[in-house]
Amino acid sequence: MTTESIVSNVWSFCTTLRDDGGRYGDYLDDVFSDLSSPDLTPSSPDLTPSSPNLASSSLNLDSESITRDVHGRLISDHFSLPFVDSPKNLSREFLAMLEQKAAAPRELKKIPKPRMIEALLTLCEGHYIRLDCLAELVNRQASTLQGQYLTQLCREHQLRMAFPDKPNDPRHAYTKA
CATH classification at residue 162: 1.10.10
68 bridge partner residues = 74
73: number of Cβ within 10 Å: 22
Q: Percent of the chain having pLDDT more than 90? A: 43
Does the structure show a pLDDT above 60 at 95? Answer: yes
Predicted TM-score (pTM) of the model is 0.62
Count the domains in the chain.
2
- 154 and 82 part of one domain: yes
- 162 and 98 part of one domain: yes
Does the structure show a pLDDT above 50 at 172? Answer: yes
Confidence of residue 106 (pLDDT cuts 50, 70, 90): confident
As a whole number, mean pLDDT of residues 35-43 equals 50
- 26 and 105 part of one domain: no
Residue 54 falls inside a structural domain: no
| Residue in 89, 167, 159 with CA at minimum distance from that of residue 123 | 159
Domain range holding 19? 3-33
Q: How far is CA 22 from CA 29, 34, 74, 136, in A?
A: 12, 20, 45, 38
Strands (E), the chain: 67-68, 74-75, 83-84, 128-130, 159-161, 173-176
